[in-house]
Amino acid sequence: MTVCYLNDDFVELSKASISPLDRGFLFGDSVYEVFAAYNKNLFRLDDHINRLNKNLEFLGIKINISDSQIKSILKEVCLKNFEENQIIYLQISRGAEEIRNHIPKKDTKPTLFICSFEMKSVPNKNNDTIKAILSSDIRWKKSSIKSTSLLANVLYKIKAEEEGVDELLMSDAGYITEGAVSNVFCVKENKVYTPPLDANILPGITRKVILEIFEELKLNFEEKKIDEEFLFESDELWITNTTKGILPIVELNEKIIGDGTPGELYQYVKQAFLKKIEDCKVL
């Protein structure tokens, strides 16, 4: 039995229901966060909540619940589900209204939904590798907002599956933005590069952790625009996200990246990332 939280109540996920007139369903008028919980400890909880608040403010969605209450509910959902390692999904929509209208009413009560799934692949010392393809970025120009309007991302993941690869990377006017569900890093001559946050990309929490690791390890890195040619000529190529942590791409558009194996810098950074997870587990 999976337990979720929906509008003031903990209920079985199979029994949870939301109005078909909810604006999240009708318009994608909602934001979300995805949290990783290791040994039932939520990783980088404050960072996720801070990003959630920025997105709610951008959309003008006002919720009558404090950060501490949201944290408490997240932890309770985690505890009520038996898996030690979980992916926890939180969505807040503008709420349900009596009549479908693009313009929202000012007194609409937001819908808060939180559910948990087992983390199928926990970051570990094994060097799993992935393949990817490159495609043009067709998303709207506010992809820094973690909105549930994810149709383009769905199409990208379908395309990646059809091509027999694990991820699709996007470029806009010849410059890399991000992956369908990830942030992108590449290494050239022992220096790490990642697109800046002004390049219509999501400010990923794992991305933030990796940048902190660069600082701690005193690695040479730069946030800069990366063109397609530079990406293909990289010595190493990585992606990061909450559900997978950090993974190396060894093949892009059927071209081998580097020597086709996880690079030395990747392995060095990954060990530091695993240490961050271990530190989370003992809290």
Amino acid letter, residue 57: E
Three-class secondary structure of residue 32 per DSSP: strand
CA dihedral 171, 50, 85, 148 (to 10 degrees): -50
**Do 51 and 147 belong together in one domain?**
no
Domain containing 146: what range? 130-281
Q: What whole-number percentage of the chain has pLDDT above 70?
A: 99
**Do 202 and 164 belong together in one domain?**
yes
As a whole number of angstroms, the distance between CA 98 and CA 101 comes to 9
Residue 283 in this model has a pLDDT that exceeds 70: no
Give the tens place of pLDDT for each residue, 253-264. 999 999 999 999
Closest CA to 190 of 264, 261, 127: 264
Mean pLDDT of 160-178: 97
Structural domain includes residue 124:
no
Residue 169 in this model has a pLDDT that exceeds 60: yes
Give the tens place of pLDDT for each residue, 79-114. 999 999 999 999 999 999 999 999 999 999 999 999
**Do 135 and 105 belong together in one domain?**
no
As a whole number of angstroms, the distance between CA 67 and CA 273 comes to 26
- Backbone φ and ψ for 211, nearest 5 degrees, come out as -65, -35
Boundary-marking domain end, from 118, 147, 177: 118
As a whole number of angstroms, the distance between CA 278 and CA 272 comes to 10
pLDDT at 280: 82
**Do 62 and 163 belong together in one domain?**
no
Give the tens place of pLDDT for each residue, 186-203. 999 999 999 999 878 999
pLDDT at 125: 86
Instruction: Say if residues 269 and 210 touch (Cβ distance below 8 Å).
Output: yes
Structural domain includes residue 264:
yes
Query: Catalytic pick from 40, 75, 106, 146?
Result: 146
As a whole number of angstroms, the distance between CA 192 and CA 7 comes to 43
Structural domain includes residue 15:
yes
Residue 279 in this model has a pLDDT that exceeds 90: no
| DSSP code per residue over 60-82 | T---SS-HHHHHHHHHHHHHHS-
Count Cα neighbours of 236 within 13 Å in the Cβ-side half-sphere.
23
**Do 177 and 275 belong together in one domain?**
yes
Three-class secondary structure of residue 92 per DSSP: strand
pLDDT at 36: 97
Q: What whole-number percentage of the chain has pLDDT above 90?
A: 94
Count Cα neighbours of 72 within 13 Å in the Cβ-side half-sphere.
6
pLDDT at 7: 95
Whole-model pTM: value is: 0.95
**Do 152 and 113 belong together in one domain?**
no
Task: Kindly report the CATH number assigned to the domain that includes residue 93.
Answer: 3.30.470.10
Task: Kindly report the CATH number assigned to the domain that includes residue 269.
Answer: 3.20.10.10
pLDDT at 99: 95
How many domains does the chain fold into? 2
As a whole number of angstroms, the distance between CA 130 and CA 240 comes to 12
Residue 159 annotated as catalytic? no
pLDDT at 282: 54
As a whole number of angstroms, the distance between CA 85 and CA 120 comes to 8
Mean pLDDT over each residue of the chain, to the nearest integer = 95
Instruction: Say if residues 115 and 149 touch (Cβ distance below 8 Å).
Output: no
Structural domain includes residue 123:
no
